[in-house]
Amino acid sequence: MQTTKTIPPLTAADAAATVVVGAAALALYLRTLVPYPLPGDSGEFQVLVHQLGAAHTTGYSTYLLLGHLFEQLVPWGDVAWRVNLFSAVMGALAAALVYLAGKLLTGSGPAAVVGALSLSVGFTFWSQAIIAEVYTLNAALLALALAAAVVLAGCSGNLGAPEAVTKQGEEFTTLWKGFLVTAALIGLLVYGLIIYAALRYRRRKGDDPDKVPSQYQYQVPLEVTYTVVPIIIVVFLFAFTVIGENRITRTDPDPDLTVQVVGFQW
């Protein structure tokens, strides 16, 4: 028997927070938006969105269709600026939807805000939200699918896992939590190293502006470490998965109760 947790209805405060998160991301992207035509793929998209053409493989038809509609409806700026603006709006929409999904999953408004804003100000995501590119639209669609999946799954604070009522269910929940903890620890390690490097090696007041930081290459011990450690982690996760699966699917050779099932084709 499985029990399903229902999602509490979103409040007016949740709706307001969703709007505020999206507006904050949009304000950031507008402030840093590239206002001119761009080279490479971005320049291609700026032209083809306006012309409603076909881009290089795979064509990006969804991006071109929605971008063309947006570009035609926005009355301000030139073509290049409007197409760049489309990426900014989609990035802000993705941030708002990530907040919404996070609130539904965790029930925690602050945690959802941190997750959404972390996405918004991430270097890669931010860089793609201020130029003509397809990635923020893709992120918005994925965030929409995530929020919809959470609603349809009917989960709340259990992250989609049903409440365990059997030993097999407890095995599944333990495995699930183990994976989440592992992912969280890896994330903390990676972001911790990034923050440390940014603070430790940043340019300081009084430094020679023409001085180039020391460059290092062929760091074999370091390269071996960051290659081998992820492999070890994956091997351990795979092993725990196999062990858990074997426990869940294990049958008793001498059960207390035997049920004989007879079927026929009708």
Which pLDDT value is given to residue 218?
74
Are residue 148 and residue 91 in the same domain, yes or no? Answer: yes
144 and 193 together in one domain: no
- Provide mean pLDDT across the span 82-111: 92
Is residue 39 domain-shared with residue 149, that is, in the same domain?
yes
In-domain check, residue 226: yes
Pair (29, 137) in one structural domain: yes
Amino acid at 81: W
Number of neighbours of residue 63 by Cβ within 10 angstroms: 23
Preceding amide of 174 cis, omega within 30: no
Confidence of residue 51 (pLDDT cuts 50, 70, 90): confident
Q: Are residues 37 and 145 in the same domain?
A: yes
Segment 237-241 mean pLDDT = 90
Q: Are residues 94 and 175 in the same domain?
A: no
Count, residues in the chain: 266
Residue 255 within any structural domain of the chain? no
Q: Which residues contact 43 (CB under 8 A, 6 or more apart)?
A: 37, 132
* Residue 158 in this model has a pLDDT that exceeds 70: no
241 lies in some domain = yes
Nearest CA to 46 out of 87, 14, 13 is that of 87
Mean pLDDT of 134-138: 94
**Local structure of residue 146 (DSSP, 8 states):** H
Judge if 111 and 31 occupy the same domain.
Answer: yes
Confidence of residue 222 (pLDDT cuts 50, 70, 90): confident
Q: Which domain holds residue 133?
A: 12-153
162, two tokens: 């049903």
Q: Between 129 and 69, whose confidence is greater?
A: 129
Stretch 90-103: mean pLDDT, rounded?
A: 94
Average pLDDT over residues 120-139: 94
> What average pLDDT does range 10-20 have in this prediction?
87
Instruction: Kindly indicate the confidence band of residue 6, based on its pLDDT and cuts at 50, 70 and 90.
Output: low
Structural domain count, the chain: 2
Residue 177 forms part of a structural domain: yes
Q: What is the pLDDT of residue 1?
A: 44
Of 153, 186, 210, which residue constitutes the final position of a domain?
153
Q: Give the CA diameter of the chain.
A: 87
| The pLDDT value given to residue 220 | 82
Contact 120, 28 (CB under 8 A): yes
pLDDT of residue 162: 66
Position 156 confidence tier, pLDDT thresholds 50, 70, 90: very low
Please tell me the predicted confidence (pLDDT) of residue 94: 96
pLDDT at 92: 97
Write the burial class of residue 191 (CB in 10 Å: 0-12 exposed, 13-18 middle, 19+ buried).
exposed
Q: With cut-offs at 50, 70 and 90, classify the pLDDT of residue 152.
A: low
> 83: which 2 tokens?
């197409």
Based on the fold, state whether residues 178 and 88 are members of the same structural domain: no
